[in-house]
A and B are shown apart, each in its own frame.
Chain A
């Protein structure tokens, strides 16, 4: 168990809809990362937050947005969904508030989104 919790685990929705994926990072971790993994694809970096502020952005579509809240949990919002958005979305956390920063990312088990 990595300590990172993602909900929901599975989500089926229709094209044009909007969904919200939630991530609770490991206790004390300040940074949250979101990745998209399509079928037989690698881990595509979407966005990174550090202590509530956006730190880095990857190839995140304009239809997607994210935020990190004061309690450090994060949400990824996906709107105007298309068939191609079907994927596994991973959240990872890092950068503990205490102890050494090792660089290790702790991944959740992912949220599998299916767009029909």
Chain B
């Protein structure tokens, strides 16, 4: 079955700096790679996703890149703000199938 690894487990950055979180997956059949943000006391919420026919996708300060050959994908947050502080989860799946999450990255943005 699918296995997703995620690094780093914790990340501290100064406000305004960039943050990068990296994930690898094992199942070459996976073709959908979402990223979720979990704020304290809440359920995870989708922030951006990418499909296997796309190499990069950007939404304002957030971007994701995908390398299907190497089976890894990354989340990039630029100009970080204190409200970006949260736990971020990557995931790999195919549509309609079970969604397997990475172990999470706790991001702290220091004002």
Task: State the A residues within 8 Å of B (CB).
Answer: 2, 4, 31, 33, 35, 41-43, 45, 48, 50, 55-56, 58, 90, 92, 95, 101-105, 107-110
Does B61 make an interface contact (CB < 8 A)? Answer: no
Assess the B96–A101 pair: CB atoms within 8 A.
yes
Find the A residue at minimum CB distance from B101.
Answer: A43
Give residues 39-58 of B contacting A (CB, 8 Å).
41-46, 49
- Chain A residues near B42: list those with CB within 8 A: 109
Q: Which of B41, B49, B104 contacts A104 (CB 8 A)?
A: B49
Q: CB-defined interface of B1-37 with A at 8 Å, one 1/0 digit per residue?
A: 0000000000000000000000000000000101010
Assess the B95–A33 pair: CB atoms within 8 A.
no
Q: Which of B49, B98, B104 contacts A56 (CB 8 A)?
A: B98
Find the B residue at minimum CB distance from A43.
Answer: B101
Find the B residue at minimum CB distance from A4.
Answer: B43
Number of A-B pairs whose CB atoms are under 8 Å? 58
Assess the B95–A101 pair: CB atoms within 8 A.
yes
Find the B residue at minimum CB distance from A110.
Answer: B43
- Chain A residues near B98: list those with CB within 8 A: 33, 45, 48, 55-56, 58
A56 to B99: give the CA distance in the assembly, Å: 10
Assess the B34–A104 pair: CB atoms within 8 A.
yes
Question: In the assembled complex, how far is the CB of residue B94 from the closest CB belonging to chain A, in whole angstroms?
Answer: 9
Residue contacts A-B, CB under 8 angstroms, 24 given: A4-B43, A42-B102, A42-B103, A42-B104, A43-B89, A45-B98, A45-B100, A55-B96, A55-B98, A90-B43, A101-B95, A102-B49, A103-B49, A103-B93, A104-B34, A105-B46, A105-B99, A107-B43, A107-B44, A107-B45, A108-B43, A109-B42, A109-B43, A110-B43
